[in-house]
Amino acid sequence: MKKLTKINLKGLEKKMNVICEDVQRNYVGGYAYYDQNGTKLGQVGNSTDIRICSADAYSTAFGSCGSGSASSGSQVIGTSLVTSSFLVKESFFQGMADQYADKYTNFQLDGMLGSEVGAQTVGCAGQSVTLSINNNCSYVYNEQDLISILKHENTHETQDCSLDTNTSEFNAYYQQVTSPNFNNCDKAFKDGILNSMAGYASQCNKNEYTSVADIKKMLGLNY
């Protein structure tokens, strides 16, 4: 067997092309492409990392737009949502809120918030919700995590105003974790949501949901 040395590796490097990370993402990972108004243009690979571009740019690079499209290619276009301008982020998040929480009238992106997951003023049936999200919170840049957050808030917009805070929050978390997209969320995000749900369950006597293990068992969550 031939011994592997630094010299061998240098020679191999010259023979084998090095594929940059962005190109690799088109085959393993990829991106979720949106326009700046929150309209999904298409999907390259299976990653939930969001990139912003125009519909024309997407069509030119990958073919026809459509939220159900599956594309592949060796190029990366547009701009990462993380590094997009503040105005683009506000436009994008408001567009997503309009899609997943019909009664939203206010959406605030605040880099000064202390909370990792954001802060919201909870509404109820017939009232609007103002959602303020920390500009540095990683979850809002993940497509599935963001949709899950918005579905949680949408529950607040549709439930009875007479509910106490603990019951209201438990109901919102219940709807969030039983939504089909929750399974596709980031594991750390899901763990945090289940811990919060268990805390509210303890406060409103939902005794069968007072631990993460209990929630997973009751709802058949396997991750």
Contact 38, 98 (CB under 8 A): yes
Q: In this model, does residue 212 exceed pLDDT 90?
A: yes
Q: Is residue 7, in this structure, part of any structural domain at all?
A: no
Tens of pLDDT, residues 101-159 = 765 445 565 544 334 344 344 455 555 566 666 666 777 889 999 899 888 888 877 78
- Count Cβ neighbours within 10 Å for each residue of 203-214 and write b for 16 or more, e otherwise: ebebeebbebeb
Q: Please count the CA atoms within 13 angstroms of the CA of 103 that sit on its side-chain side.
A: 15
| Band of pLDDT at residue 14, cut at 50, 70 and 90 | low
Please give the DSSP secondary-structure letter assigned to residue 142.
B
Q: Is residue 23, in this structure, part of any structural domain at all?
A: yes
Lowest-confidence range among 11-20, 148-157, 169-178? 11-20
Q: Are residues 64 and 167 in the same domain?
A: no
- Which residue range(s) make up the domain with 73? 13-83
Q: Is residue 20, in this structure, part of any structural domain at all?
A: yes
Q: Which helix (H) or strand (E) holds 217?
A: helix 212-219
> Strands, DSSP E only, in the chain?
30-34, 40-45, 50-52, 70-71, 79-80, 106-110, 119-121, 130-134
Tens of pLDDT, residues 52-98 = 999 999 999 888 766 555 555 557 899 999 899 888 988 898 888 88
Q: Are residues 125 and 202 in the same domain?
A: yes
Contact 41, 31 (CB under 8 A): no
Q: In this model, does residue 30 exceed pLDDT 70?
A: yes
Which of 49, 83, 117 is a domain's end point? 83
pTM for the structure as a whole: 0.76
CA distance 158 to 166: 16
Q: Are residues 138 and 210 in the same domain?
A: yes
User: How many domains is the chain built from?
Assistant: 2
